[in-house]
């Protein structure tokens, strides 16, 4: 666990109430235009969402070893098979009339980038911070979180993807590093969270170990998942045929890992609820203010720092 939950001297509002009152989101028109789970982000809601993208990208570029990438959301069947999303999870994917699919994470496109290739060992590890629009049908979740931004069909993610040599200890080291990277972001945003180790029955196909990071949501008086960090050994890379030559010249499959750096708009729930004030305004986290033109508070009265 990290962080102290805000000691609010008033009954906390949900992100739905806060964002609608401040004209940051419109859920009613979102449903009218997009259907079930539709939403619009507008005004400071849209700007705050984009501020988060820029903040996260700057954070990873400063590390010096992550390659920024815009990954396609429209992906052929082969990368989905390779990463393990097909055939088991086909019901949760949107499929086009051409037989392609819309990805729910940039992991799929980024892993497909190296499909059927041999990576020079000296280039390992390879680290990417990949951005993409994401789509999920949320099949089987029709009665869960039907309102607001927690479980939506269309969203945006910045995903950490790592390819490394075929060594368990190396995979474990990168797994802890990827998880720590996400913790750094939440700590910079000052969002309380805890980390959950998934039991075997909750692991996805091919996952060796998985952490979920759940961020505090005062409006629900509960934690909600915002990040997921996994490693696969060579499960994905065998299916995708991604290899390298080890020091003895023997061909081996690389190991793969991935972790959510940030998923929007879901993270907005924790931000607006933890930073809400008694008058219904929302303080902007310090690290995001420079991306919001110097604004410090989102309120019905404009507030811009000269």
Cα separation of 107 and 293, whole Å?
32
- Out of 228, 229, 230, 256, which one is annotated catalytic? 228
- 228 is a catalytic site residue: yes
Q: Among the options 159, 229, 266, 281, which is catalytic?
A: 266
What 3-state class would DSSP assign to 43?
coil
Q: Minimal CA–CA distance to 157: which of 110, 118, 96?
A: 110
Contacts of 38 (CB under 8 A, 6+ apart): 27, 30, 31, 32, 152, 153
If phi over 0 gives left and psi between -120 and 50 gives alpha, with beta otherwise, what is residue 14?
beta
* Active-site residue, from 138, 183, 225, 283: 225
283 is annotated as an active-site residue? no
Q: Which residue bears the tokens 């990417």?
A: 128
Instruction: Round to whole Å and give the CA distance between 137 and 27.
Output: 18
Whether 125 and 174 have beta carbons less than 8 Å apart is answered as: yes
**Exactly one of 76, 151, 238, 283 is catalytic; which is it?**
151
Kind plus residue range of the DSSP H or E element containing 193: strand 193-197
- Does the active-site annotation cover 136? yes
| Sequence-distant (≥ 6) Cβ neighbours of residue 269 within 8 angstroms | 15, 148, 149, 150, 215, 217, 219, 224
* Catalytic-labelled residue, pool 130, 132, 136, 215: 136
Give the N- to C-terminal CA distance of the chain in Å, as an integer: 37
> How many CB atoms lie under 10 A from the CB of residue 70?
11
According to DSSP, the residues that pair with 109 across neighbouring strands are none
Name residue, tokens 């993807």: 161
**Residues 284 and 48 sit within 8 Å (Cβ to Cβ):** yes
What is d(CA 224, CA 244) in angstroms, rounded to the nearest whole number? 38
Q: Is 4 helix (H, G, I), strand (E, B) or coil?
A: coil
Which residues are part of the catalytic machinery?
136, 151, 225, 228, 266
């Amino acid at each position: 666990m990290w962080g102290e939950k805000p000691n609010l001297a008033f009954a906390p509002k949900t992100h739905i109430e806060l964002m609608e009152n401040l004209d940051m989101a419109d859920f009613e028109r979102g449903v009218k235009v997009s259907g079930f789970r539709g939403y619009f982000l507008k005004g400071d809601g849209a700007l705050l969402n984009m501020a988060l993208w820029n903040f996260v990208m700057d954070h990873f570029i400063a590390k010096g070893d992550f390659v920024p990438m815009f990954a396609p959301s429209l992906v052929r069947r082969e990368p989905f098979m390779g990463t393990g999303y097909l055939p088991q999870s086909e019901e949760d994917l949107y499929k086009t009339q051409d037989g392609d699919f819309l990805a729910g994470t940039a992991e799929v496109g980024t892993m497909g980038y190296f499909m059927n290739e041999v990576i020079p060992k000296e280039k390992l590890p390879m680290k990417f911070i990949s951005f993409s629009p994401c789509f999920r049908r949320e099949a089987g979740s029709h009665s869960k979180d039907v309102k607001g931004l927690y479980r939506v069909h269309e969203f945006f993610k910045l995903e950490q993807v790592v390819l490394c040599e075929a060594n368990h200890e190396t995979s474990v080291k990168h797994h802890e590093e990827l998880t720590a990277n996400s913790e750094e972001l939440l700590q910079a945003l000052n969002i309380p969270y805890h980390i959950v180790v998934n039991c075997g029955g909750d692991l996805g196909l091919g996952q060796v170990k998985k952490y979920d990071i759940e961020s505090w949501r005062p409006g629900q008086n509960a934690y909600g998942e915002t990040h997921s960090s996994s490693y696969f050994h060579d499960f994905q890379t065998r299916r995708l045929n991604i290899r390298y030559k080890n020091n003895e010249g023997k061909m081996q499959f690389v190991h793969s890992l991935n972790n959510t750096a940030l998923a929007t708009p879901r993270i907005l729930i924790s931000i607006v609820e933890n930073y809400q004030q008694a008058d219904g305004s929302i303080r902007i986290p310090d690290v995001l203010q420079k991306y919001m033109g110097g604004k410090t508070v989102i309120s019905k009265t404009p507030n811009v720092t000269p």
